[in-house]
Amino acid sequence: MEIRTQNGSRVSAVQAEGLIREDERRALATPGVVRDELPELRAVRVALSLLPAGHPVAPVARQSCREFGHQTLHTDAVACGRCWEHAIRADERVVVEFGLTAKDERPDPGYIDVVAVERVIEGEYLPLGSNERDEVIRRMRAQGCGPWTISDRLGESTRTVRQRIDELTGRVQGSQTQLGAAEAAQVA
Ligand SMILES: [Zn+2]
């Protein structure tokens, strides 16, 4: 079974897995760089949800999907597409780290797991690295979220989040006057 993409081409579960692994390798090769979303990610994730229960990372995908209580497209699916993606990316990182990457070329701590970032923004709790926390702040700010909402997602104090926003935007710490009225209301 194949999934039709928006541009009319088709992608199978196996091809979808290949695309995710390839994308993960590119991410590892350019640590700290925020890249564009994989083209046709939606269709790719739907295709991933068709991967079989016998797949090597199926137990990881299944467990994560159950823990988060996600809905799957088919009742007999092992996991939703995003949990499959997460599990495959994690597996690919292990492959790269132990098989194909020299010791001095290990994945940088600046690496950003975009799936984990998305999940945290949507309200799940996942441990994130500092670069990923910054990415959550950037994305939520771009969506118009205030420090209070962001601190709720990250499980940090509003004060810490505001300080980080100031640092990320190059504002002087504590310069509240530069906050917009709506923002200031949300802080309070
Ligand atoms: Zn899931």
Tell me the pLDDT tens digit for each residue of 132-168.
Answer: 899 999 999 999 999 999 999 998 899 999 999 988 8
Q: Find the mean pLDDT for residues 91-114.
A: 67
C-alpha 113 to ligand 1 mean position (Å): 16
- Higher confidence at residue 111 or residue 138? 138
Task: Please report which confidence band the pLDDT of residue 107 belongs to, taking 50, 70 and 90 as the band edges.
Answer: low
Out of 103, 125, 158, pick the residue that ends a domain. Answer: 103
Q: Which of 11-20, 108-117, 126-135 has the lowest mean pLDDT?
A: 108-117
C-alpha 186 to ligand 1 mean position (Å): 31
What confidence score (pLDDT) does residue 172 get?
Answer: 53
C-alpha 69 to ligand 1 mean position (Å): 7
C-alpha 65 to ligand 1 mean position (Å): 4
- Higher confidence at residue 102 or residue 146? 146
pLDDT at residue 80 above 80? yes
Same domain, 26 and 84: yes
C-alpha 90 to ligand 1 mean position (Å): 15
Same domain, 31 and 83: yes
Same domain, 2 and 70: yes
C-alpha 14 to ligand 1 mean position (Å): 18
Q: Find the mean pLDDT for residues 102-130.
A: 74
Same domain, 98 and 23: yes
Task: Please report which confidence band the pLDDT of residue 38 belongs to, taking 50, 70 and 90 as the band edges.
Answer: confident
C-alpha 49 to ligand 1 mean position (Å): 9
Looking at the structure of the chain, the number of domains it has is 2
Helices 58-67 and 81-95, interaxial angle, to 10°? 130
Percentage of the chain lying above the pLDDT 70 cut: 85
Same domain, 125 and 95: no
C-alpha 165 to ligand 1 mean position (Å): 30
- Higher confidence at residue 13 or residue 108? 13
pLDDT at residue 53 above 80? yes
Same domain, 54 and 93: yes
Q: Find the mean pLDDT for residues 76-87.
A: 93
Same domain, 96 and 16: yes
Residue 121 domain boundaries: 112-188
Same domain, 68 and 97: yes
C-alpha 72 to ligand 1 mean position (Å): 7
C-alpha 169 to ligand 1 mean position (Å): 33
Same domain, 79 and 152: no
What confidence score (pLDDT) does residue 177 get?
Answer: 44
C-alpha 171 to ligand 1 mean position (Å): 38
Residues with CB under 5 A from ligand 1 (ion): 65, 70, 80, 83
Task: Please report which confidence band the pLDDT of residue 88 belongs to, taking 50, 70 and 90 as the band edges.
Answer: very high
